[in-house]
Amino acid sequence: MSSSSEENLPKKIGRYELRRVLGEGASGIVHRAYDPIMDRVVAIKSAKADSLSAEQIQLVIDEFRHEARIAGKYAHENIVGIYDVIEANGLDHIVMEHVAGRAVTEYLASIGPMAPETVLPIVQKCAVGLAYVHYHGIIHRDIKPGNILYHHAGNLVKIMDFSIAHEIDKPGERQNGTLAYMAPEHFDTSRRITALTDIFALGATMYRMLVKRYPFTNDDTVSQILYAHQTPVSEIRSDVPREVNDLVERAMAKDDIDRFQSAAEFAYAIENVLARHYPEVLNATNADSYMTL
C-alpha cells in the first residue's frame, strides 16, 4: 500500500481500529483491524463507497448481508469465519476472521504452477470444508483460487467469499459465478445446480493450480465447458502422477454421474493418492479426516 493510501486510511470503523489494507477490488476493500474489546485481530470487508454509485453500493451491501446470513451460521477450520455485520458511516461492513495467508492466485502469480504435493493437501482441505457446508445445505457457487486462502508454514487452508452461495434446495441465479470454473449445468437449463457443481469448480481450481493455465480458453468458453475436454494435466506436466490427473478428470466430468458424488468422497480420494505418492506430506500436514463435518 502506498504512503498516500496510508495517509488516507480512516482510523476506525465502529470500535475497530484499522491497521492496513489487506486487499481491494473494483467494489470492495478489506482492512486488517484490531478489536479492542475482544483483543483480537480481524479483517473488515467494506464497499468502496468513493468509487461506486448509490445503486452499486446497495448491491454490495445486499451481498454482504447475504454472505453473513449464509456463512455466519457455521464455524469450520477450513472456512473463513464471519463474526458480525456492523453499520458505520452509513454503510454495512463484514467483520471476519483474520487469516494469516494469501489467496492461491497470489502464489500462482509469484511461483507459477504448484507442485502436486502442495496442491493435493490444499484441495483436500477445501473438499473437507465443502463437505461441511454441503452437509448444512449450502452450495458455495464460486470456488476458485482467488477464494482460497493458504499459508504454507501453518498448513492453513480456508475457503472465503460466500456472497453468491445459496441453500441447496433453493434456486439461485443460474449463471452466477466465475466463468473459468463454472460447471456445464450452469448453462444447461435441463440440469440442476447441486453440491456437485462445487466439486467441478474445485476440480477446475486444482487444474489451474497444477498448470497455471485455465481449463478452457477465452474462445467461446461456454461451448467448451459444455462440450469440449480440457487438455489433461498429465499431457502438460510429466511430473504429475497419473492418479493426480485422474482426480482432476473425475472432478471435472461433464455429467453428474461421472463426478465424485460428494466433497467427502473427493477428499477421501485425495488422501489415498497422498498416501500412495506423498506419504511424508500426508503425515506432515496431519490431513483432516474425509468424514469431518
Residue 53: Cβ-neighbour burial (10 angstroms; 0-12, 13-18, 19+): exposed
Give the three cell numbers for residue 13. 470503523
Phi, psi of 176 (to 5 degrees): -75, 140
Residue 146 to residues 33, 65, 107, 142: CA-CA distances in angstroms?
Answer: 21, 21, 10, 9
- Most distant pair of Cα atoms in the chain: their distance: 55
CA-to-CA distance for 249 and 251, rounded, in angstroms?
Answer: 6
Region of residue 166 (phi > 0: left; psi between -120 and 50: alpha; otherwise: beta) = beta
- CA separation for the pair 99, 250 (Å, rounded): 31
Catalytic residue among 35, 142, 198, 288: 142
Whether 142 is a known active-site residue: answer yes
Active site residues: 142
